[in-house]
Structure 1
Amino acid sequence: MTGLSAQGITIKRLDEIKSELDSSLQLVFGTELSLDPSSPEAQLNGIIAEQISQLYELAQAVYVGMNPNFSTGNMLDLVSQIRGVDRNEETATVADVTFTGLAGITIVAGSKFTATGLDGITFSLQNDTVIDALGFGYGRVSCNTLGKVIVPALTITGIISPTYGLESVSNPLTGITGNEQETDEIFRIRSNASVALPGTALLDSVYASIANVDEVEQLVVLENDTSTIDVNGVSPKSMLAVVQGGTDEDIAEAIFLKKSLGCGMDGAITVSISDINGLPHDIRFSRPVNIPIFISVEVKELAEWDAAVIENIKQLLYDFATTSQSVAGTTYNGYQMGDDVYASQLYASLLNENTYAINSLFVGIAAIPAGSSVPISFSELATFDIINISVVSVA
């Protein structure tokens, strides 16, 4: 039986629908009715059958879309809202800037600036900034293009919005890079984990509670129920949460709400949380240790080579390592906590180019890498920066 039933949904295929329409016509007008594919009746049935088939496929898509394990895009957002979980949206890169100019002048919020090497991208001042008596002012700008926009130190120097008395602007430090929108794959994991919130199992409940904290990107929760320190270094009868993203206070509150009585806690960060009686409790957790990865590539120049290809290679490697990418039909979500880094994986981002051939690709934690892999522990996160990617070409 086709349609929706207690067993799920079953749809009719195009050829099945066409055959039923043909049979219905012959039932009414007789079997002598010609339904040769070139006949008007057969052509009309083909048009109607295609429309009905599309309706069946739409019904199936809606049905499947209600399952968070298979839904994507906006449907996954809607299903997850029922669970009280929202997708982490794109955030903007921000950078602290120093102004020089006439004492007493005000650079108004919204004033726009540019950065060297970032064509078409502008930055807006977040708050009014006054130049002090020494001729300096300090403010923060945010990128008007959301997502991972890398802003090296000393590159924000262009002034778009003219201000009387303003002489220069510069960012002394590298900006705090924004985040891309959470991918379906990562959001689905966090959404599915949230259903463990009402549970009583320590590990699942704590994981789900932390995963539901705003701006938490990824996490690991380990439990040691033995009487000795385990292989991960977790203390006896204790748990350890390693969390990227979110505020310390929100994470500690989420752990406190689900942590069982008497369970010890490991972690480098300690936050005091008060219970309903006002008594303080120390909640501990850790942040992942960032492991900067260096990449060295040697390529052979082919017929269509030009100097701009070197920067393109760097960008391809960086994007592959830090964002969601589809390469040769396989989806990569960038490196997550505990993901080892393999040179062979990075090759994948460079295979579709015809301007060069790859002679060698090495990874490591030293400025001149010479290895094929970098092991990353569960509490570490491989991080990437374009300035740590070296590309050399040979003719």
Structure 2
Amino acid sequence: MLDSAGFKRQRFADLITDMEVKAKEAYGDDVNTSERSVLGILLRVVAWFLAYLWSNAEDVYNSGYKDTAEGVSLDRLGPYVGIERRGADYAAVQLRVTGTPLKIVPAGWRAATETGVYFETTDEVTIPAGGHVLASARAVSAGLAGNTGAGTITIPANPDPDITAVTNPAAASGGRERETDFELRQRWDLSVASGGASTLDSLRAGLLDTPGVRAAIVAENYTMQPVAGRPAKSIEAYVLGGADADIGQTLLGKKAAGIEPYGSVSVQVLDEGGFAHTMRFSRATEVPIRIRLTLAVNNRYPAGGDGDIISAAIRYIGGEDSDGQLFTGLNMGESVKVSQLIGSVLSIAGVTDVQVQLSRNNGASWTGSNLTLAAQEVAQTSYQWIEVTRP
């Protein structure tokens, strides 16, 4: 039923009870409605289908709300607040192609890893006299599989006698899976002001909605004197992640006219009239968080439990998991709270107790207390920085 408290669906047991009461009203109190009676069987068959319809009705009701909608229903709610689900991204990498000088490596030339992950060049390049050239490439398929390590892309997929070798000096990065419902809801909560402009909240929301941006804050100087290095009547955005050009375009579209953007990064962007503007911002200071977790577990602890523990810690703090997935985690300036980290770890089956040690200076010193960060700092961790031990 639907009332002031919301929608409450009738479950199978509720329907059977109501139908038995109605049957006795119609046929008398002595009518047999047990599970093995003809009438009882008929009532239960009908109740099963009615329960299915009630379940569908509940799903329809829930599809209209951000916290309960799922899948496509959630996608269709996003545009009402100006956000869309982010699709899977392609990993990008620089390939070092070795071969005959003056050989042209066309756009679309492919190389692969031994595990069958293919990359293709995005631009045409020519091998110079030195015999090798760097070519920009991206994964053929979107997703985490494209985040391969350095030196793993070594197989030319298009054999050519003038191309003798290929490798990637640095790891491929940027590949990610399609944004999950949970991630979309998190970004929704942080982007509620994105429909406006010229306010600090709308500017921050716009930055958070910029592709690749994982955290952002905006500071302002509304006085006529320099404050903390910021010129009079200026703003300074601190941003983690994202491309410079995309961030600059967001600043141009969201900041108030006549307000100077200040920061250590400068980028030229065009307005709708084709005029160039210089947008400035600063990169957030990433604070690497190393973690030591000492666990007490029981026989419910899964075989891959250590990996689940590490993933849970990364989801809370933010950073890169072992599969290359990047998680936003804590907001900029937000402290790392030991109690919340413990809660994330205890959510894994079989963990009965946990002791936490944290370090923000590459392991020079450790503490079991909360870590406080400055407004422009953001905590980040990595699967390589988390140590899990079980006595």
Q: How far off is 1:196 after superposition?
A: 3.3
- For residue 273 of structure 1, report the CA deviation from its aligned partner: 5.9
Map of 1:303 onto structure 2: none
Separation in structure 1 between the aligned mates of residue 355 and residue 190 of structure 2, nearest angstrom: 43
Amino acid at match of 2:250: A
Distance verdict in 2 for CA 1:226–1:135, change over 3 Å: closer
| Counterpart secondary structure, 2:58 | helix
Unmatched segments (≥5 aa) in structure 2: 297-302
Q: Within 5 Å, which residues of 2 pair with 1:94-105?
A: 94-105=92-103
The 8 Å contact of residues 90 and 180 in structure 1, kept in 2 or not, is answered as yes
Q: CA deviation at 1:80?
A: 0.7
Alignment partner, residue 87 of structure 2: 89
Count of residues in correspondence between the two structures: 375
| 1:251 partnered with 2:256 | no
**Aligned partner of 1:337 among 321, 332, 337:** 332
Gaps of at least 5 residues in structure 1 are: 301-307, 326-331
Deviations 1:297-334 (A, max 9, x none): 7899xxxxxxx99x969975886553699xxxxxx964
Aligned to 1:72: 70
**Matching of residues 219-298 of structure 1 within 5 Å:** 219-223=216-220, 238-261=234-257, 263=259, 265-271=261-267, 282-295=278-291
Counterpart amino acid of 1:103? P
Specify the alignment match of 2:119 in structure 1: 124
Distance 1:200 1:134 in 2: 51
Corresponding letter in the other structure for 2:117: T
What are the residue-to-residue correspondences of 1:16-55 with 2, within 5 Å?
16-55=14-53
Task: Please state how far the C-alpha of 1:67 moved relative to its aligned partner.
Answer: 0.9
Q: Is 1:313–1:391's contact at 8 Å kept on the other side of the alignment? A: no
The whole-number CA distance in structure 2 between the counterparts of 1:263 and 1:210 is 17
1:136 counterpart letter in structure 2? H
User: Residue 99 of structure 1 contacts residue 170 of structure 1 at CA under 8 Å; is this kept in 2?
Assistant: yes
Q: What displacement does 1:34 show?
A: 1.8
1:314–1:125 distance in 2 versus 1, CA, 3 Å: farther
Distance, in Å, in 2 between the alignment partners of 1:13 and 1:290 is 50
The residue type equivalent to 1:132 in the other structure is P
Aligned residues of 1:97 and 1:171 also touching (Cα < 8 A): yes
Report the counterpart of residue 304 of structure 1 in structure 2: none
The 8 Å contact of residues 314 and 381 in structure 2, kept in 1 or not, is answered as no
Which range moved further: 71-80 or 176-185? 176-185
Deviations 1:231-267 (A, max 9, x none): x987776543323344434433433444345655443
- Retained in 1: the 8 A contact 2:289–2:358? no
**Alignment partners' CA distance in 2, 1:168 and 1:88:** 35
Q: Which amino acid in the other structure matches residue 19 of structure 2?
A: L
Whole-Å Cα distance in 1 between the matches of residues 287 and 308 of structure 2? 22
**Contact 1:103 / 1:135 at 8 angstroms: preserved in 2?**
yes
Query: 1:98–1:170: 8 Å Cα contact kept in structure 2?
Result: yes
Give, in whole Å, the separation in 1 of the partners of 2:22 and 2:189: 46
Distance 2:216 2:137 in 1: 29
Structure 2 counterpart of 1:142: 138
Q: TM-score, normalised by structure 1?
A: 0.72
- After superposition, the Cα gap between the structure-2 partners of 1:23 and 1:226, relative to the gap in structure 1 and judged at 3 Å, is farther
Q: Which amino acid aligns with 1:124?
A: F
Q: Which moved more, 1:190-199 or 1:164-173?
A: 190-199
Deviation of 1:65 after TM superposition, in Å, equals: 2.1
CA distance in 2, matches of 1:278, 1:163: 44
Kept in 1: contact 2:293–2:357 (CA 8 A): yes
Matching residue of 1:111: 110
Aligned CA distance change for structure 1 residues 236 and 324 (closer, same or farther; 3 Å):
farther
Shift of 1:111: 2.0
The one of 175, 180, 205 equivalent to 1:178 is: 175
Give the match's secondary structure for 1:286: strand
> Residue 161 of structure 2 is aligned with which of 161, 164, 180?
164
> More deviation in 105-114 or 63-72?
105-114
Deviations 1:127-171 (A, max 9, x none): 455433332132133344612765444443344553324332222
Q: Give how far 1:94 is off.
A: 1.8
